[in-house]
């Protein structure tokens, strides 16, 4: 099985597709962790919100592309509200309270979704343009999944350029490196946090909307991706964009192959990997310079 090139190509593409989604999902979590030393357990909930908002947008406007635009924006607004109403007040709290407040949000999120959209699973149709299959490296592969991979690559490039070229990017890089120094330079770190947090939510929402036609949409879809995203962040090193990309690739491919090749071990190895990285490379595989 492992020597069949067709199998390898398809599974690798599956892995890359998962990696692209994980990348979109984890960027926000990672940057917020790096910048504010804050683990937002409700990040998966924002991913789920993106999928459900996309579902409603498709129903209302009958356009996947409009949904792809609106859902992330909606999630960004939601995230902004969340930050202003709740998370901002926890900035000085100990890590336990931060983690547990966002833990409570998970339950609220699942039930709100259940109340509004019902408990039955939903799906979104793939847009007609991307509905078919393409021939790639001699294998037939769903076009939409190739689109997800392309989107992941594109956004990595965009974010990389933004981080290197823009003023906000410079502030974020400096903030991850040494937060107090940035505050001492007179930069309003609060509004930077809000902006970065919203941007991270936007990307999580985008991940949810993009994932909607592939995964089924149901209350609780957030829990399994949340843990994967946490692992990606730990693996790559909090606050590192390249780290998130590398972590997503590793987890995407390892998890995909693991499920197929050694199903009895699958997640056990991924959690073990996470624990080992925390112990021996607590700053991640691609640590941000100056970070612990």
The Cα 154–Cα 150 span in angstroms is 6
Residue 221 binds another protein (CB under 8 A): no
Distance, CA of 207 to CA of 210 (rounded, Å): 5
- Stretch binding another protein (CB under 8 A), from 49-57, 90-98, 196-204, 239-247: 90-98
Say which residues have a Cβ less than 8 Å from residue 188's Cβ, sequence separation at least 6.
Answer: none
Write down the residue that tokens 């199903």 correspond to: 263
118 binds another protein (CB under 8 A): no
Could you say whether residue 259 binds another protein (CB under 8 A)? Answer: no
- What φ, ψ does residue 233 adopt, rounded to 5°? -65, -45
The answer to whether 208 and 48 are in contact (CB under 8 A) is yes
Residue 17 tokens, joined: 């597709």
Our finding on whether 31 is near another protein (CB under 8 A) is no
Question: Does 55 interact with another protein (rule: CB under 8 A)?
Answer: no
Query: Which one of 66, 77, 114, 214 is in contact with another protein (CB under 8 A)?
Result: 114
Separation CA 124–CA 60 (nearest Å):
13
| 100 part of the interface to another protein, by CB under 8 A | yes
**β-strand partners of 135:** 140
Cβ closer to another protein: 121 or 282? Answer: 282
Q: Of the candidates 26, 25, 32, 24, which has an alpha carbon nearest to the alpha carbon of residue 193? A: 32
Q: Binding marks (x or -) toward another protein, 120..149, rule CB under 8 A?
A: ------------------------------
Selected range binding another protein among 134-142, 143-151, 209-217, 267-275, rule: CB under 8 A: 267-275
Shortest distance in whole angstroms from residue 274 CB to another protein = 4
Report how far residue 196's alpha carbon sits from residue 83's, in angstroms, rounded to the nearest whole number: 11
Using CB under 8 A, which residues numbered 268 to 287 contact another protein? Answer: 268, 271-272, 274-275, 278-279, 282
Considering the complex, what minimum distance in angstroms separates the CB of residue 59 from another protein? 23
Coil/strand/helix, residue 141: strand
Q: By CB under 8 A, what part of segment 177-206 binds another protein?
A: none
The answer to the question of residue 261 lying near another protein (CB under 8 A) is no
**Residue in 8, 77, 99, 187 binding another protein, rule: CB under 8 A:** 99
Per the listing, tokens 């399994």 go with: 224
Binding status of residue 227 toward another protein by CB under 8 A: yes
Cα R_g (the chain), whole angstroms: 19
Closer residue to another protein in complex, CB, 42/54: 42
Instruction: Name the minimum Å distance from CB 183 to another protein.
Output: 20
Is 104 among the residues that bind another protein (CB under 8 A)?
yes
Q: Cite the DSSP H helix spans in the chain.
A: 5-36, 43-61, 64-85, 95-117, 143-165, 167-177, 179-184, 189-211, 221-236, 241-261, 266-280
Interface ranges with another protein (CB under 8 A)? 37, 39, 86, 89-90, 95-97, 99-101, 103-112, 114-115, 223, 227, 230-231, 234, 263-268, 271-272, 274-275, 278-279, 282
């Amino acid at each position: 099985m492992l020597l069949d090139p067709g199998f390898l190509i398809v599974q690798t593409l599956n892995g890359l597709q998962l990696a692209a989604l994980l990348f979109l999902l984890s960027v926000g979590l990672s940057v917020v962790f790096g910048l504010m030393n804050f683990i937002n357990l409700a990040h998966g909930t924002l991913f789920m919100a993106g999928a459900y908002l996309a579902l409603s947008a498709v129903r209302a406007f009958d356009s996947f592309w409009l949904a792809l635009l609106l859902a992330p924006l909606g999630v960004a607004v939601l995230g902004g509200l969340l930050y202003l109403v709740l998370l901002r007040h926890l900035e000085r709290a100990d890590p336990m309270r931060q983690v547990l407040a966002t833990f409570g949000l998970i339950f609220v999120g699942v039930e709100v979704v259940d109340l509004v959209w019902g408990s039955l699973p939903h799906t979104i149709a793939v847009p007609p343009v991307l509905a078919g299959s393409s021939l790639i490296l001699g294998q037939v592969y769903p076009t939409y999944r190739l689109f997800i991979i392309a989107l992941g690559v594109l956004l990595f490039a965009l974010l990389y350029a933004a981080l290197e070229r823009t003023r906000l990017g410079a502030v974020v890089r400096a903030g991850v490196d040494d937060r107090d120094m940035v505050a001492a330079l007179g930069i309003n770190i609060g509004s930077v946090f809000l902006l970065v947090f919203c941007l991270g939510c936007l990307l999580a929402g985008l991940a949810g909307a993009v994932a909607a036609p592939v995964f089924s949409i149901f209350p609780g879809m957030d829990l399994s991706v949340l843990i994967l995203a946490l692992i990606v962040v730990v693996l790559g090193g909090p606050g590192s964009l390249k780290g998130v990309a590398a972590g997503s690739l590793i987890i995407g491919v390892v998890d995909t192959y693991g499920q197929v090749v050694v199903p009895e071990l699958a997640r056990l190895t991924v959690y073990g990997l996470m624990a080992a990285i925390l112990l021996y490379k607590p700053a991640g595989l691609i640590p941000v310079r100056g970070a612990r």
